[in-house]
Amino acid sequence: MKSRIAWFCLVLLIWASASAVFAAPEEPGKSADDKTTLAAQEKEACIKNLKVIYEAIQAYQADKKDIPNWLSDLVPQYVTDVNVLLCPVCKRTGQTEARGLADPQIATSYVYEFSTALMTIKSLQVTKTRREWKRQQMGLAGSVVPIVRCRHHTPLLNLAYDGRIYDSGTSWETLLTNRMDIAELKPERIFAAEKRKAPATAKSAPARFPARDRQAKPGQLDLGKFYNTSLTESWLGSAGHSLAELPSGLQTLGWVDWDIRGVVQLAGKSPSSKKFPEQAKDIQVHQKCQRLHFLHAAGFGAASDEGTQIGTYIIHLATSNKQLEVPIIYGHDVRNWHVLPGEPPAPEDLVVAWTGSNEVSKDKNMKIRLFETTWINPAPDVEVQSVDFVSSMAGPAPFLIGITAE
């Protein structure tokens, strides 16, 4: 019996010794809790850097009317301390380069996704910039597309185009699997569709807007001088991305009569919308009315934008220079003109005036749509002089098709 106990003790001693030999050694002076705390502190500091970078990009964009080609373009005018471009993890480890896409001018830890770096899609035999690819992604996924990423944390940190900061794996696109086929975001798929739908001629015909019908009623307001794209033009994306199926001219959609001849697109945060104005001022009304009806929608919106004010209709009354503001709320007045997979149920006051399709939506088995919002005039006995259509420069970019006074 004693020999058995001695043998058992010997086995335990050998096992304990082996465990000590093969166990992963602790970093000198660092416990597991210390490492967790350090990682959290470095992540918090990195998030602060990303917020500074976002504000710098916004300031650059306001001055230059476009985003920078590289993060180094922000130095020194918009980013005075270059240490902001270094993740705290890199400061500790000495690794300062951005893995994957190195800035040509300075050492930075961050990957700038909208750079002008060239990329060749061998299967299509075409060369594009990363910015072209990312802008096309935004047309499909919205402003959740990262503009800056930090790959030195687990999970990775993403700075979205609209300023949100979120975690993801190596592929941020997997976060969208519940609302779209993420394979559509790959450059091969995006530029294959663009190549397939490219016009045969090198230059497309200039956009033309039909003349206003003489039978138009005064209440069907004339937006002709404010149109900046035609119904048949692909103004927010690849070829075939238009409102060509929308009935034009004097039309009744729902129970409202409209004059439909073009699109008044305003700018938002999306790069694809920056070429458009931030407002359309002094749309003439000059009549008394009980209601104003707006036929409109938004580009680049996503479910995460629900409740966001994306624009305003400013109503100018003829007396005392009084003006009233009608906010345009995403999810209440409008949504993305595409019916997005996985979007929340529509509230009762979100009125769809028209649904249809275009070449792009047919490829994705989606519908396109326009919305109608009615504003009740609190002073129907006072003449409405004019309306201003103003963007809030949010992620979704509002556009207007028609206004009808009743």
Q: Where in the chain is the domain with CATH 2.60.120?
A: 220-405
What's the pLDDT at 292?
98
Residues in the chain: 406
**φ, ψ at 85 (rounded to 5°):** -85, 10
In CATH terms, is domain 220-405 a member of 1.10.10? no
- Residue-level pLDDT at 173: 93
pLDDT score at 197: 52
Give the pLDDT confidence score for residue 238 in this predicted structure: 65
pLDDT at 26: 44
> How far is Cα 242 from Cα 239, in angstroms, rounded to an integer?
8
Q: Can you say whether the dihedral through the CA atoms of 81, 84, 90, 92 is positive or negative?
A: positive
Are 132 and 67 contacting, i.e. CB atoms less than 8 angstroms apart? no
pLDDT in tens, the chain (406 residues): 545 445 544 444 444 444 433 333 344 444 556 667 899 999 999 999 999 999 999 898 888 878 899 999 999 999 999 999 999 999 888 776 655 578 888 889 899 999 988 888 888 888 888 988 998 887 777 778 999 999 999 999 999 988 899 999 999 999 988 878 888 889 998 888 666 554 444 344 444 688 899 999 999 999 999 999 999 888 886 677 899 999 999 999 988 999 999 999 999 988 778 889 999 999 999 999 999 999 999 998 888 899 999 999 999 998 867 889 999 999 999 999 998 888 888 898 899 999 999 888 887 888 999 999 999 999 999 999 999 999 999 999 999 999 999 9
Instruction: Give the whole-angstrom CA distance, residue 386 versus residue 384.
Output: 6
> Phi, psi (5° rounding) for residue 179?
-125, -10
Cα 393 from Cα 65, distance rounded (Å): 13
- pTM score, whole prediction: 0.55
